[in-house]
Structure 1
Amino acid sequence: MKQVLGIDLGGTAIKLGQFESDGTCLRSCSIPTPQPAIPEAVLAAIVEAIEQLDPNREALAIGVGMPGPTDAAGRIARIAINLPDWVDVPLADWLEAKTGRPTIAANDANCAGLGEAWLGAGRSFRNFILLTLGTGVGGAIMLNGELFIGHNGAAGELGLISLDANGTLCNSGNRGSLEQHLSIGAIRRRTGKAPDELGQLARSGDPEALSFWRSYGRDLGVGLTSLVYVLTPEAIVIGGGVSASAEFFLPSAIAEIEQRVMPTSREGLRILRAELGNRAGMVGAAKLALDRYCTEELSSTR
């Protein structure tokens, strides 16, 4: 059975897994992201981790999830707004030169969407949206069973849609983006507390925490309304660390969508928690490599 490496590059940690073509994870590890996370330092850390994870070079190819868009070919990390000096970095070329294995890169939320489509909450749907609620707010769009990346590879930045034209400035240059209302940083700014603390307070019945999560859900629902009207998906999958408190904010998000979206645009719509947790990006990066480099047709040419 063919094997690949799936890598999820984050601002604080880099997760790596070695996967068989049926999705079985043979082994995995997590290493701290070098600080500052400049490209050269990150590349060196990834190469060292690959050598430790797969010393016998059993994996045929590498997939990498990036915290930002890549070009349509999956070769170049175009920008990572929360990592220093990541502008048009030829990541695939660099890793291929260092490891001798074909490499493809994609936005980390797109990888999470692929992972959920393959082995998680999206596997029963051909058309769904993934929204990841964490340090940032990312997204992925699956259309007719395929990841939609647009004509230049940068589609699916769902967290950067506008919610408030005069709101908080985003690193993207937008103001009042969905990310500036729903990210971990936005939650801290709004409440002075971390999402997990607010989740614990809500579970204990704290009225202020419960009120916050209802408000959070309404903002989420407003943002999702635009996406539902444009894409009319079968399902919306909610992932990322903040989704641990989904029981407190999804009801108000759903109510907002039901109020704002015509029934013809939301008929049969399911809103679900993601199933793969923080493994989704790693799993999806592996799927990316399998699809690009390890089909029977392509493998026979190597």
Structure 2
Amino acid sequence: MTVADHSCEEVIGIDLGGSAIKLGRFDAEGNCLQSLSVATPQPAYPEAVLAAMIAAIAQIDPEGKTVAIGVGTPGPADAAGRIARVAINLTGWRDIPLADWLEAKTGKPTVLANDANCAGMGEYWLGAGRHFQHLILLTLGTGVGGAVILDGKLFTGHDGSAGELGLITLNPDGPACNSGNNGSLEQYTSVRAIRQRTGLEPDQLGARARAGDPEALAFWQAYGRDLGAGLASLVYVLTPEAIIIGGGVSASAEFFFPTVWQELERRVLPSSRSKLQLLKAELGNQAGMVGAAKLAWQKAGKL
């Protein structure tokens, strides 16, 4: 494979969600040459979703020239990136061999990953994490997702389910979590938790903080302390070069990053946070598609 040949090659990155399937065709530098969004079939049975994906792939790559496909799914994949073990908001998804199905239909090597892991890879490749080889991403949304990148590779553990950063324990006596844990970080930092604590949406609290509302400012300071305490545990275990914060709540990062950083400085030994940076994610809702494309390149053995 010559450099010239490689420069002409392309992959497809797919972000499979409960309401939309987003696809992009990417070159090796991460340029999105074409993108497309189609509605996720309702109900989102596996066979219906597969058919919609195949039709969309044919639209974005009519001549079948792409060399690999990466897919982010809303739930865990197996360690080999072959099977969607569960998919949140998709009907009837349990242990679905989606990579095998797509390979059979397209003839292209295919890899799956959890959508938060794809977002982490996207930020690592082209976003806030592009200058680092070791980083963690937290997506602060309805829940709290996470991704761990070590040595430029996605870390998923021995069975594919590592990196559930939002489910670490923050308070042993805290509120019950769907995971079975009590007082998980998610129970203090998710959109759902913010609603329960304040009766307001994060964007409302952000607007009030921008207007100088002292209660909103105090809330974000307390929020930053909780998030910082959770991140301190992760820093001790993983010693990343960067912590990247994404998801809807990150729109108010200016109000809670200062107390997050104060907690990290207070709780984490300097030797464990050497040169650590706290950054806001840059790619928004494109991160999953971009990260899926990066994984496709790795699957193809090109990057």
| TM-score of the superposed pair, with normalisation by structure 1 | 0.91
Q: What is the alpha-carbon root mean square deviation over aligned residues?
A: 1.8
Matching residue of 1:299: none
Matching residue of 1:55: 62
CA distance in 2, matches of 1:34, 1:166: 41
CA distance in 1, matches of 2:88, 2:176: 13
**Do 1:246 and 1:273's aligned partners in 2 also have CA atoms closer than 8 Å?**
yes
Q: Structure 2 unaligned runs (5+)?
A: 1-7
**Do 1:217 and 1:253's aligned partners in 2 also have CA atoms closer than 8 Å?**
yes
Q: Is 1:101 matched up with 2:103?
A: no
Paired AA for residue 251 in structure 2: A
Deviations 1:106-156 (A, max 9, x none): 111111111111111111111111111112211111112222111122111
Distance 1:12 1:202, change over 3 A: farther
The 5 A counterparts of 1:259-278 are 259-278=266-285
Matching residue of 2:41: 34
Alignment partner of 2:278: what SS?
Answer: strand
Give 1:267 shift.
2.1
Alignment partner of 1:16: what SS?
Answer: strand
Give 1:294 shift.
5.0
CA distance in 1, matches of 2:197, 2:42: 28
Distance 1:258 1:281, change over 3 A: same
CA distance in 1, matches of 2:277, 2:171: 26
Give 1:230 shift.
0.7
**Do 1:81 and 1:171's aligned partners in 2 also have CA atoms closer than 8 Å?**
no
Q: Is 1:151 matched up with 2:158?
A: yes
Distance 1:177 1:45, change over 3 A: farther
The 5 A counterparts of 1:130-145 are 130-145=137-152
Question: In percent, how many aligned pairs have the same letter?
Answer: 68
Matching residue of 1:246: 253
Deviations 1:154-194 (A, max 9, x none): 11111111122333333323222212222222222222222
Matching residue of 1:200: 207
Matching residue of 1:175: 182
Alignment length (residue pairs): 296
Give 1:12 shift.
3.1
Alignment partner of 2:69: what SS?
Answer: strand
* 2:10 corresponds to which of 3, 12, 27: 3
* 2:242 corresponds to which of 229, 235, 243: 235
**Do 1:160 and 1:179's aligned partners in 2 also have CA atoms closer than 8 Å?**
yes
Matching residue of 1:185: 192
| TM-score of the superposed pair, with normalisation by structure 2 | 0.91
Distance 1:137 1:97, change over 3 A: same
CA distance in 1, matches of 2:192, 2:204: 14
**Do 1:15 and 1:29's aligned partners in 2 also have CA atoms closer than 8 Å?**
yes
**Do 2:85 and 2:96's aligned partners in 1 also have CA atoms closer than 8 Å?**
yes
**Do 1:2 and 1:294's aligned partners in 2 also have CA atoms closer than 8 Å?**
no
Give 1:83 shift.
4.0
* 2:122 corresponds to which of 115, 123, 130: 115
Paired AA for residue 208 in structure 1: E
CA distance in 2, matches of 1:273, 1:105: 25
* 2:21 corresponds to which of 11, 14, 30: 14
Matching residue of 1:300: none
Paired AA for residue 234 in structure 2: L
**Do 2:110 and 2:299's aligned partners in 1 also have CA atoms closer than 8 Å?**
no
Alignment partner of 2:130: what SS?
Answer: coil
**Do 1:140 and 1:147's aligned partners in 2 also have CA atoms closer than 8 Å?**
yes
Paired AA for residue 220 in structure 2: W
Distance 1:193 1:51, change over 3 A: farther
Q: Is 1:86 matched up with 2:93?
A: yes
Deviations 1:69-93 (A, max 9, x none): 2111110012235544322111111
Q: Structure 1 unaligned runs (5+)?
A: 297-302
CA distance in 2, matches of 1:210, 1:58: 52
